[in-house]
Amino acid sequence: MDPYLQMFGDTVFGFFALFILTKVLGKTQITQLTPFDFISSLILGELVGNALFDKEAGIPEIAFVILLWGALIYITEVITQKIKRTRHLIEGGPDFVIYRGKLIRDVMKKNSLDVNQLQSLLRTKDVFSLREVEFAFIETNGTISVIRKPEYQMPNKQDLHVSPQEINLATTLINDGEIVYDNLKEKNLTEEWLQEQLKAQDYDHIKDVFYAEYMKGQDLFVLPFVNREHHKFDA
């Protein structure tokens, strides 16, 4: 067989196989790239590239490599969905890099982040001074999320002559139908109180709640389990 024709066939097959694999694994491979996802993408690209340029490798070999790696990633995703304790180990979690306006040095060191890099990340959120920041999180994909101090929030409270208000962080109390007991304890709340709040919103069982969020001074924010087919995105 003509080597160029074989390379053409292998490349086209690899393209469509990777496209299908991306669809199966979901959008997180692209939009929410964690360190684990980044490494897996690099390795997958390397495996496919080597298979394409190996003279002895054809479509069966490329298919085997893609299917094997896809299966490993899929199994990992299933494990993180079923066994929630593994999520932090595999995917990591967000870290406070600024808390109540103060830099958390240990978190910066852990993430190999210096002040200049932090300022650069803040500028991507239209924050040009550390004095404006009340809370900042380093997300698992390396991006930063920011909550400004009240006087710097839009619209500017100083301009409106409105007294600054205390900022309270939202705390997850239920995730994937399970109570996050550590957060419940941190906020000095009880499971009985949580049950009462849910019943007040017509939820009789914890398993009926996909997500519940607590914020001081506000009603409990509750999201039920919803099937995708009931709420499709209309392009």
Instruction: For 35-71, write each residue's pLDDT tens digit.
Output: 566 666 666 667 666 666 666 666 677 677 777 777 7
Considering the four listed CATH numbers 3.30.470.20, 1.10.599.10, 3.30.240.20, 3.30.300.30, the one that applies to the domain covering 93-160 is 3.30.240.20
Could you give the angle at the alpha carbon of 145 between the alpha carbons of 143 and 148, nearest 5°?
Answer: 145
pLDDT digits (tens, 9 = 90+) for 180-198: 898 899 889 999 999 999 9
Give the C-alpha distances (Å, rounded to integers) separating 147 from 15, 114, 169, 198: 41, 20, 9, 28
Please state, in angstroms and rounded to a whole number, the distance separating the CA atoms of residues 121 and 142. Answer: 9
Six token digits for residue 125: 């959120």
Please state, in angstroms and rounded to a whole number, the distance separating the CA atoms of residues 206 and 220. Answer: 14
* Average pLDDT score over residue span 134-160: 81
State residue 103 phi and psi, 5-degree precision: -70, 135
Six token digits for residue 91: 């995917």
Own/partner pairs, 1-7, CB within 8 angstroms, 24+ separation: 3/55, 6/58, 7/52
Residue 31: Cβ within 10 Å count:
8
CATH of domain 171-228: 3.30.240.20
The rounded mean pLDDT for the chain is 75
* Average pLDDT score over residue span 165-175: 81
Tell me if domain 93-160 and domain 171-228 are identical in fold: yes
Helix, strand, coil percentages in the chain from 3-state DSSP, rounded to 5: 55, 15, 30
Please state, in angstroms and rounded to a whole number, the distance separating the CA atoms of residues 207 and 198. Answer: 11
Least confident of 90-104, 107-121, 148-162, 192-206: 148-162
Q: How confident is residue 27, by pLDDT bands cut at 50, 70 and 90? A: very low
Please state, in angstroms and rounded to a whole number, the distance separating the CA atoms of residues 129 and 9. Answer: 54
State residue 68 phi and psi, 5-degree precision: -65, -50
Helix, strand, or coil here: 79?
Answer: helix
Order of strands across the sheet with 178-179?
Answer: 178-179, 171-175, 209-214, 221-224
Domain spans, the chain: 3-89, 93-160, 171-228
pLDDT tops 60 at residue 163: yes
203: phi > 0 → left, psi -120 to 50 → alpha, else beta; which?
beta
pLDDT tops 80 at residue 21: no
